[in-house]
Amino acid sequence: MQDEESDFPIELTKGVWHSTSSERYNKISESKYIKPEPDIPDEERCTNSSSFVRSLGGVSLFDFRHFNLAEYNHKYDLAIWATFVPCRSGWDETIWLELDEEKMNTAYLSPNEVMLKLSIAKAGQQIVPEIEAAHIGVIPISFIKRALRYSDMLGEFVEIHE
């Protein structure tokens, strides 16, 4: 029997990440920013237009630094994280951008802060509980520590060097 923890990629466990498609990654590289409201149709977004983080003017991030797969799956019936990790459902590959939390400074909202804001707002909007973080405002590409490409075909992460 496979250990449940081994189903989660170790490459993502030590950081704060933004995930995107290859096409969007190219647009991020060209514009020099990750934008809360990129010029893409809602149906192409990772979350729909009712995303709570977007309503705050933020960019959705994943913070897996304290993530425990067994505990999370026990607590939440729907493993929403699996829709995105390691590759978004329906995509051939996903680009993972690791961000420097220190550079994000006060614009960074931890998963706990996002959950607290949602409960205070009593909004019916969506978050990925306990792992969805946020950066309020645009994120300069200088905040990116490294970029990884996960290909479903290869089944592995490869660092992107530019």
Q: What confidence tens digit (pLDDT) does each residue in 149-159 have?
A: 999 889 999 99
Whole-model pTM above 0.85? yes
Write down the mean pLDDT value for the chain: 86
Distances (CA, A) of 51 to 47, 59, 125, 156: 6, 10, 6, 29
Domains of the chain, residue spans: 4-160
Q: Summarize pLDDT for 53-86 with one digit per residue, the tens.
A: 888 899 999 999 998 888 888 888 666 788 889 9
Domain 4-160 has CATH 3.20.170.20: yes
Instruction: With beta carbons less than 8 A apart as the criterion, state whether 22 and 9 touch.
Output: no
Q: Summarize pLDDT for 101-147 with one digit per residue, the tens.
A: 999 999 999 999 998 988 888 766 777 888 999 999 999 999 999 99
